[in-house]
A and B are shown apart, each in its own frame.
Chain A
Amino acid sequence: MTSGAPHVSPQPGAVATPILEADHLQKRFPVQGSFGRQLTVRAVEDASLALYPGRALALVGESGSGKTTIARMLARVYDPTAGTLRFQGKPVQFAGGAALRDYRRHVQLIFQDPFASLNPVHDVRYHLARLLRVHGHAKTSAQATQQALALLQRVSLTPAEQFLYKYPHQLSGGQRQRVAIARALAVHPQVLLADEPVSMLDVSIHLDILNLLRQLKNEDHLAFLFITHDIATARYFAEETNVLYAGQMVEGGPSDEVIQHPKHPYTQLLIAAAPDPARLNAEGKRVDALPARGEIPSLVNPPTGCRFHPRCPHAMPVCRERFPARTDLGNGHWTHCFLYGDGTTTTQPS
């Protein structure tokens, strides 16, 4: 582990080696501006994270903060503009073909929208069987069916025989997402990247799906990247939480620590925005309401330095000039904010 690596396991002595690491990932998308100008969307700047077997890392941030982009870079849907990926300690070559298929045998993505992620013309069996066949887990059609049935049972779609030949339009949102989870499990992955797996679903079934994912994580010792905009869900599901703002990682550490003692002004704002009956006073007014100002900035032309400075109540002149380095706050908790120093405790180029 590098000196700047933020992830210290909360359980003493349980420090494992990360299975998937991302170092200083950066993603820029070229877009066509008006009058044919070439513009660049700076979606993600300098994102580093590490995933450990049997542990979940939550990535929290609002829309447009680059959560999905990070997940898709880890899933190799996009190649990063800069930065490295290490899988099981070995740097990942950004090449296609057999190497890419091999990578995807270990790392799978669960999509946000179960209404869009299943092909409407294929039935459930086809979705599962294709992965089993592509990755060589099933040699014959009969084997594929047997394994598909087992997968459906694992995601509690029972009786599995009834779901095997259903088409996506015959399933509810929760059922579809279970099929999508089963599809991700079909390759026996070691890493699951879940991109807001419950946000498109009815609130009443959030917990069912979350508990299913947690059960799978524990049974298969899966490394999880859990993307959400809901900080309560992050705390419920993940051991660690990283907070992302406008493509920059601003704070991270053990989930309880980050959520109960947020240090970065943005995290404080995010947590203050979550409804919590304990924080209401007698008149039903918020006792600790932070004044929220501004919107998430344009990523084509982002603010200089720390991208949060136009909205930050504590903004200083230096915030405008450069992005602060990582400051270690102890106990695995870290932040990028000049309020807590300039990365003097540990050094890391930003």
Chain B
Amino acid sequence: MSQSPLLPTPVLESVEGEQTPLLQAPITSRPISSLALVHNAWRFVTSNGKVATGSAIIGFFVLVAIVGPLFVHQNPNLFTNQILLQPSAAHPLGTNQGGQDVFSQLVIGTRSSLFWAFVAGVLVMIISVTVGLVSGYLGGITDDVFSLITNVFLVIPSFPLAIVAAQYFSRSEFTVALIVALTNWPWGARVLRAQTLSMRNREFITAARSSGERTWRIIFFEIFPNQLSIVAASFITTTIQVLLQVAGLEFLGFGDPTAVSWGTMLYNAYNNSALLLGAWWWFAPPGICIALLGSGMALLNFGIDEYADPRLRLKRKRAARQKAVAA
């Protein structure tokens, strides 16, 4: 830092390319091109074994959710008389008591399970970011009111409430996602409020305020980007929560019984005594999928923690070095 300010710093490769055409070219062009973004994303994904494993698992399920249904030509709800068949070439995961093909149900179910977990996760994130940042930044009476609401929601046992609420409203997957979102946002809001409290008196926020920025711009453009790693981590955590809760509600029979998802598959398997019948191909695959996707997201979350906290990264490097020395 003792370098003279007049001395130009070494030119960074990303800036150099932009240097000459900058004045004439459309100025909107940023030095971070989409290619660099992809490169950065790839570097993050491969930075660490946990992240790599986690993203591979999640990537696999996302791929199945998007393109999987194109390869399934069977109606997953079609009843046939070929009941409880063992896995075979025609039915890779056998059939259930209604003669429905388990494999096609699993593939079709991936899309809805993933989609609704994602929707609920996004809803949770929107509510918790808004409540947490606004109450932390504004303080005063707004903070008191928001904190009270947060604390009330925090002590409401979310799963029982979801069960009760699911009784009253129409049994659709949207209802389940909405209920799960409404009972899961307070944790993230609390964490983000605490972070915002510590940030609102930082000098760059005072600088933004004294430069005449509007309050909502300070909250969402100055503070929010500084909390992206927390938001990303809490998004993944809540998505796991939501995935499990949605599956749990459906398993207990509070979902839409006509929809095909992992949770309803488990519900049907349980109600038709798949366990007693020994039809493992019926109940095991959706359970394994839920467990696998959950652990994939958990791994990604650990990875983000390590990535966001340089001290953890350092520890890992030191461990690797020690291993290299020992070998």
Contacts and interface: CB of A to CB of B under 8 A. Distances in A.
Chain A interface size, as a band, is 35 or more
Interface residues of B, number: 35
Nearest to A121: B225
B13 interface: no
Nearest to B211: A131
B145 interface: no
Contact of A105 (B2, B18, B27, B212): B212
Nearest to A110: B207
Nearest to B19: A161
7 cross-chain pairs, A with B, having the tightest CB-CB distances, nearest first:
A174-B5, A116-B203, A121-B225, A145-B27, A101-B212, A119-B204, A142-B27
A156 B30 contact: no
B8 interface: yes
Given A120-B226, A130-B211, A172-B9, 19 more contacts: A77-B209, A77-B210, A100-B212, A108-B210, A112-B203, A117-B204, A118-B207, A134-B213, A161-B22, A161-B23, A162-B9, A162-B15, A172-B2, A173-B1, A174-B3, A178-B5, A180-B207, A208-B5, A208-B6
A36 interface: no
Interface of B: 1-6, 8-9, 11-12, 14-15, 18-19, 22-23, 26-28, 30-31, 202-204, 206-213, 222, 225-226
A275 interface: no
A134 B212 contact: yes
Given A116-B204, A165-B30, A205 B5 contact: yes
27 contacts: A77-B209, A104-B211, A109-B207, A111-B206, A112-B203, A116-B202, A117-B204, A118-B204, A118-B207, A119-B222, A119-B225, A120-B204, A122-B222, A130-B211, A134-B213, A142-B27, A145-B22, A161-B23, A162-B9, A162-B11, A165-B30, A173-B1, A175-B9, A177-B5, A178-B5, A187-B211, A208-B6
B207 A156 contact: no
A294 interface: no
B4 A204 contact: yes
Interface in A130-158: 130-131, 134-135, 141-142, 145-146, 149, 156-158
Contacts of B8: 158-159, 162
Nearest to A157: B5
Nearest to B5: A174
